[in-house]
Amino acid sequence: MKKFLIYIALLSPAWAFAQDTIPEIEDKDFPFDLFIKELEDRFEVKIFYKGEWVASIEDLPPIRGSSLEEVLTFALEDTDLGYLKYSGSNYVIAPSKDLSEVLSLSYVLVKERFNTSEILTNVPMLYIGDSSLVGQSSDSHIRLKILDFKNEEPVAGAALYIETLGITEVSSSTGLIDVTVPSGVHLTEIRMVGYLPLIGNLSVFSDGTLDIYLDEEIIELEEVIITGEGAQKNILGPSAGMVTITPRQIKELPVFLGESDLIKAILILPGVSTLGEGTSGYYVRGGNIDQNLILQDGALFFNSSHALGFFSVFNPDLINRVTLYKGHIPAQYGGRLSSVLKIDLKGSVAENFILSGGIGTVMSKLALETPVLKGKSSLLLGGRMTYSDYILRMIKIPEIRESSASFYDFNFRYNHKVGQNGTAFLSYYQSGDEVQYERLFGFNWNINNVSLGWNQPLNEFLFSELTISAGKNRSESFDPSQAQSYLVQSGQKYVKAKQNIIATWDKHETIAGIEWTNFNPEEEILYGATGEEQQRITRNGGHEFGLYLNDDWEISDLLSVSAGLRWSAFLEKDSISSENAYFKNLEPRLSIRVKTSVTSSVKASYNRINQYLHLVTNTSSPLPTDQWLAASENLLPKQADNFSIGYYKNFEFNQWESSAELFFRKIRNLAEIRSFANLILNPAIEEDVVQGDGRTYGLELYLKKNSGRLKGTFSYTFSRALLFVALESDKEPEWISSAIDRPHNLNFNLDYTFSKKAKFALNFVYSSGRPITAPTSTYLLGKVVVPHYSERNQFHIPDYHRLDIAYTVKRNAIRRKRYQDSITFSIYNLYGRRNAFSVFFRKDKNSRASAYRLSILGSAFPSITYNFKF
């Protein structure tokens, strides 16, 4: 819209006292949706419309009148739109021709059958059952199957509301909702994050089923509707601590170097943290980075970071949905103690060619969706690449000019419809990173993953999901300095197969399945200065098995249970000895949800999980070149019992979500590296790892405003992460802080929409300083000044805090023009806080040791990014 004229008085508090006179003020950029939102707020109504209907409005003429009807009549005067009032306080704006169809035969039919005098309106009519059976039963059992309009895939987690009946239900992983309702007409809403809400008159004649298609294409409406994204899903979802994230949520955050990032998005959630800039991975509820199961299209990721943690390896432009399990972990997942991060790339069969991309300060990206066989198959391609080396070369500081840093990633996904309702995909991922500092030392690592999936309904109640994946991670660390020149290669390979059978029956959704993973570390090879092989070490791998059954049972409207049992086993594959270790365990999983009111619930969960792989690191923070070690007789699998209980409450028609959650985790056989252990080419590395108990516990508070001009989140986590280990063989075990023990974590995130074209975002982060092993005194050995260090993790570095802002200007945001673009200006670390990454000592000019802090980001970091889509 080129220009909108609105009554700015709508925004003024004076409006409340002088509604009879409305001064006319011009605001050229005020968008239609916000205009409607203000009408809704002031007149206390809901107004529904589709973005495509209003896209043709170029100018909104001056509007006069004191009642809502007068305002709407005036606003729509020169358009082909009209409006309709229904149910007292609801209005619909729609093409006039459609409005006349509202009072259609079907409407009349329903009205006659149910003899309802209620005025139904211009919303879709949804019919279930046989109209000839009306009156035979007062209640009907209905089954709704929620499907994606584009690819007809089931939509899990969609919420159904029938406000007049006080019914709220959530669709299962196969998209099913089973509910018993009185026969009749019920105004019904179905909502799901990332989809256009569906509001319709559900006309229930008798028992029956109905497929409901949600359209994710029209993104504008998400910002129009008052009720928020995923409304009540937080309350009704059976799993405690499960969070779903959409690409939009990822992109709305202030970004570092102008690049939106998945891991940055999950960091605003309570219980999720990092050690700061320049560190790999993320931590969930005090669990180390290796305790997070990361799956993209079913493929395993052992490393989630590019550029030592400044970016994640996941391309946000290609993501369809992200699900994070950090409390209750259903039985179909295993092998990691703390969390599951499930990333699904866009799986729909694209109808149109879509090209999008971006040019940023250090990175460019391109994504392409295109049909292959019309309506049958499509292709998704995406890539990102840095050109930081080019910038480094331009810098006059020699150490920097002599350094190099780069990464790239590439995604490919082929989607294909199989038969009537089945889908299959082939997904491939490749990435590479290289970091070298001033010819002194460096790393490179790359990831190759491929997965093949086939999702097929077997009948009305059974659904099959098959995923086969394989991957290879390889890393090299090198030191090209003259005398000690070397290069060490290492890596891991895996093959994984997983078969799920999902049964939806009565009020159950049952998942039974089997999973097998072959973990196979690559040989560790040392090459000398001239490239000759000097040493080779083979590490043990193994086979991990999982057999599981999980049932989500909606016992009643108030009570639902998710219960499961997983049998897990690990067979070590010893490269030298034939005496392979074998471990097997039973892992019960349970989550209970009690709905305490329409807008609140209590959830409690318990689960036991075993992890048969350990990531050991001997540096201050994990590196991508660190070693993954398989469980063996000398390195037992770790096991966790996770407990959590939480209270969830929504306010004001789900505009506000809140939660408070307590968690406790008890861990056995946690692996910690001994002091001074060497990881590289250490054939007896297990001897340098000590195992002990661990425990994490804490409280998470969360508040989120979902909609309106101002949106945002606030999260606070109190969390402790402790270990009970003896780091030296001659010492007794004792409780020490783990390297990620940061008791206080706070995240505050705001998003303010000035207009459809412009928005502002702000992000504030605070956390306690991370534990470090600090020098407490110094002494002299001959000519060498030696610092004496404390016990491990005895001290904390200064607290961390940071403020980021971003301002985004969009073009063609409302109208459905083919080409859309935006520019984002952002400043990371606005007030230039020098957050200490570490504290260390070095000699000053007088040869005395002094404490110094290393700040990875020592200043504010501005950036600009241009994104486009057509």
Partner 1 sequence: MLVLTLTTCIDPIAFEAEDESRKLVIFGTFTQLSQEHEVSIWRTGKFGSLGTWVQGATVQLMDDEGNNAQYIDAGEGTYLLPEGALCGEVGKAYQLIVTLPDQRRYESTWEIMPEPIEIEDTYFEINKRPIVSSINVLVDQFFVDVFIDTPLRTSGGNKAFLRWEMEETWSLMDFSCGPFDDAEICFYKVPNEFDQLILFSSVDDSQEKLEKYLVYSRLTAPYIEFNELHYFVVSQYSLSESTFDYWDKIRVVSNQTGSIFDKIPAGVPGNLSEVDGSSEVLGYFEVTSVVVDLTLSTRQDVIKKIQMPQACNYHFPIYLQPDYCCYCWTLPNMIPKPDYWGER
Q: What is the footprint of partner 1 within residues 363-422 (CB under 8 A)?
A: 386, 388, 391-392, 395-401, 403-405
Q: Decide: is 801 part of the binding site for partner 1 (CB under 8 A).
A: no
3-state secondary structure of 660: strand
Q: Which is nearer to partner 1, 493 or 834 (CB)?
A: 834
Kindly state the tokens that stand for 559: 């009570």
Q: Decide: is 634 part of the binding site for partner 1 (CB under 8 A).
A: no
Minimum Å gap between C-beta 393 and partner 1 is: 11
CA distance 799 to 792: 19
| Binds partner 1 by CB under 8 A, chosen from 210, 701, 746, 856 | 856
* CA distances to 38, 596, 699 from 226, in Å: 11, 24, 30
Q: Decide: is 448 part of the binding site for partner 1 (CB under 8 A).
A: no
Q: Which is nearer to partner 1, 351 or 688 (CB)?
A: 688
CA distance 291 to 336: 5
Kindly state the tokens that stand for 138: 């007062």
Minimum Å gap between C-beta 336 and partner 1 is: 23
Q: Decide: is 787 part of the binding site for partner 1 (CB under 8 A).
A: yes
| Binds partner 1 by CB under 8 A, chosen from 853, 862, 866, 869 | 853
Minimum Å gap between C-beta 775 and partner 1 is: 6
| Binds partner 1 by CB under 8 A, chosen from 130, 776, 816, 870 | 776
Contacts 24+ apart (CB under 8 A), 580-583: 580/542, 581/631, 581/632, 581/633, 583/610, 583/612, 583/631, 583/636, 583/637
First to last CA, the chain: 19
Window 833 to 852, contacts with partner 1 (CB under 8 A): 834, 836-842, 848-852
Q: Which is nearer to partner 1, 674 or 869 (CB)?
A: 674
| Binds partner 1 by CB under 8 A, chosen from 267, 362, 640, 725 | 362
CA distance 461 to 458: 7
Q: Which is nearer to partner 1, 532 or 579 (CB)?
A: 532
Q: Which is nearer to partner 1, 54 or 740 (CB)?
A: 740
CA distance 508 to 511: 10
| Binds partner 1 by CB under 8 A, chosen from 114, 414, 754, 861 | 861
Minimum Å gap between C-beta 395 and partner 1 is: 7
The count of other CB atoms within 10 Å of the CB of residue 793 is: 20
The count of other CB atoms within 10 Å of the CB of residue 729 is: 8
Q: Which is nearer to partner 1, 388 or 580 (CB)?
A: 388
| Binds partner 1 by CB under 8 A, chosen from 412, 724, 752, 795 | 795
CA distance 240 to 646: 7
Minimum Å gap between C-beta 99 and partner 1 is: 56
∠ Cα 653 658 660 (to 5°): 150
CA distance 421 to 431: 33
* Contact (Cβ atoms closer than 8 angstroms) between residue 358 and residue 364: yes
Q: Which amino acid is at 36?
A: I
**Mode of pairing for the β-strands spanning 422-437 and 441-457:** antiparallel
From 144-152, 203-211, 643-651, 781-789, give the range in contact with partner 1 by CB under 8 A: 781-789
Q: Which amino acid is at 379?
A: L
Q: Decide: is 681 part of the binding site for partner 1 (CB under 8 A).
A: yes
3-state secondary structure of 107: helix
3-state secondary structure of 790: coil
CA distance 169 to 162: 9
Q: Which is nearer to partner 1, 167 or 680 (CB)?
A: 680
CA distance 609 to 588: 8
**Mode of pairing for the β-strands spanning 176-182 and 559-573:** unpaired
| Binds partner 1 by CB under 8 A, chosen from 531, 780, 818, 845 | 780
Minimum Å gap between C-beta 666 and partner 1 is: 25
Window 50 to 79, contacts with partner 1 (CB under 8 A): none
Q: Which is nearer to partner 1, 477 or 500 (CB)?
A: 477
Mark out the alpha helices in 49-92 (DSSP H runs).
Answer: 51-54, 68-75
Torsion sign over Cα 432, 433, 439, 442:
negative
Kindly state the tokens that stand for 7: 């009554």
Task: Provide the 8-state DSSP code for 163.
Answer: G
| Binds partner 1 by CB under 8 A, chosen from 675, 819, 831, 870 | 675
Q: Decide: is 783 part of the binding site for partner 1 (CB under 8 A).
A: yes
Q: Which is nearer to partner 1, 12 or 675 (CB)?
A: 675
Minimum Å gap between C-beta 302 and partner 1 is: 18
Minimum Å gap between C-beta 837 and partner 1 is: 7
Count, residues near partner 1 per rule CB under 8 A = 84
Minimum Å gap between C-beta 121 and partner 1 is: 55
| Binds partner 1 by CB under 8 A, chosen from 123, 202, 265, 435 | 435
Q: Which amino acid is at 216?
A: E
Q: Decide: is 260 part of the binding site for partner 1 (CB under 8 A).
A: no
Q: Decide: is 868 part of the binding site for partner 1 (CB under 8 A).
A: no
Q: Which is nearer to partner 1, 97 or 783 (CB)?
A: 783
Q: Which is nearer to partner 1, 223 or 277 (CB)?
A: 277
Q: Decide: is 831 part of the binding site for partner 1 (CB under 8 A).
A: no
Q: Decide: is 262 part of the binding site for partner 1 (CB under 8 A).
A: no
Minimum Å gap between C-beta 254 and partner 1 is: 16
Minimum Å gap between C-beta 627 and partner 1 is: 14
Window 523 to 542, contacts with partner 1 (CB under 8 A): 534-535
Torsion sign over Cα 236, 237, 242, 245:
negative
Where are the strands (E) in 309-440, listed by range? 311-312, 319-325, 339-345, 354-359, 363-373, 377-386, 404-418, 422-437
Window 307 to 336, contacts with partner 1 (CB under 8 A): 307-308, 310
The count of other CB atoms within 10 Å of the CB of residue 505 is: 13
Contacts of 840 (CB under 8 A, 6+ apart): 775, 851, 852, 854
Contacts of 77 (CB under 8 A, 6+ apart): 61
Q: Decide: is 690 part of the binding site for partner 1 (CB under 8 A).
A: no
Q: Decide: is 857 part of the binding site for partner 1 (CB under 8 A).
A: yes
Q: Decide: is 727 part of the binding site for partner 1 (CB under 8 A).
A: yes
Q: Decide: is 277 part of the binding site for partner 1 (CB under 8 A).
A: yes
Of 68, 58, 66, 12, the residue nearest 32 (C-alpha): 58
| Binds partner 1 by CB under 8 A, chosen from 120, 257, 284, 740 | 257
Minimum Å gap between C-beta 779 and partner 1 is: 4
Window 599 to 628, contacts with partner 1 (CB under 8 A): 618-621, 623
From 43-51, 124-132, 565-573, 783-791, give the range in contact with partner 1 by CB under 8 A: 783-791
* Contact (Cβ atoms closer than 8 angstroms) between residue 317 and residue 247: yes
3-state secondary structure of 72: helix
Window 474 to 493, contacts with partner 1 (CB under 8 A): 482-483
Minimum Å gap between C-beta 251 and partner 1 is: 21
From 305-313, 464-472, 557-565, 661-669, give the range in contact with partner 1 by CB under 8 A: 305-313
Give the relative orientation of helices 68-75 and 32-43 as an angle to the nearest 10 degrees.
170
Q: Which is nearer to partner 1, 795 or 866 (CB)?
A: 795
Of 200, 224, 204, the residue nearest 212 (C-alpha): 200
| Binds partner 1 by CB under 8 A, chosen from 110, 673, 723, 803 | 673
Torsion sign over Cα 573, 574, 575, 579:
negative
* Contact (Cβ atoms closer than 8 angstroms) between residue 146 and residue 192: yes
